[in-house]
Structure 1
């Protein structure tokens, strides 16, 4: 199942993701960010957080590694333009390995409808 999700920051599309990882019982999905803007990376994320009063959870400038707290203007939309709503959207990663987006606390039944493959994979673990 290779759905592609659009990632928008302050209304500007910054990339896409497939939200390939999950913690189904917690209503969490995450995925690698495929950036569509040239300057996306550690400096871009840090500057954005500074100028928008976004709390940074971890910051290691020497490794260009950063992890944000919730960014309210970070929106993820599916192919039908439906916003994937959770209780928090965050970015983490480093320039050398790439960045990941995480959506926390997506409610059911929407989670199960949007990510049936993640729910199925979780349920298969107990068979």
Structure 2
């Protein structure tokens, strides 16, 4: 099983700390932390969150989180991506991981 993460590319400029905070409150999404004074927020796993690759294929995992801060970036983390899908979708990550254990 693997872990992947990446930046969220917003198409709407109104998606920010205030949006996420309100969305999480209205949808009973548990927060890992919330610092309103810094506009910093992170969620626990969001049930029903669908993450797709650039070809529209869903990347499934066991858990996910979204975190970010206004004026910076928001990212999504997906944990427990099963093999062989992980290796097929992210061969460069698997290769880099395996290379670190090879003796020179």
Fold match (TM-score > 0.5): yes
Q: Distance in 2 between matches of 1:53 and 1:114?
A: 32
* 1:96 and 2:71 correspond: yes
Which string of whole-angstrom CA distances, capped at 9 and with x for unpartnered residues, describes residues 55-99 of structure 1? 000101111000100112321112332110001121001112211
Which residue of the partner structure matches residue 12 of structure 2?
A: 37
**Number of aligned pairs?**
102
Question: Which structure would you say has the larger Rg?
Answer: 2
Structural RMSD (CA): 1.2
TM-score, structure 2 normalization = 0.91
Could you state the TM-score of these two structures normalised by the residue count of structure 1? 0.75
Q: Which has the higher strand share?
A: 1
Runs of 4+ in 1 over 6 A off after TM superposition: none
Higher relative contact order (CA 8 A, sep 6+): 2
* 2:51 aligns with one of 76, 87, 104: 76
Q: Cα deviations across residues 15-45 of structure 1 (Å, max 9, x unaligned)?
A: xxxxxxxxxxx51000111211121111111
Name the CA distance, whole Å, in 2 between partners of 1:79 and 1:96: 25
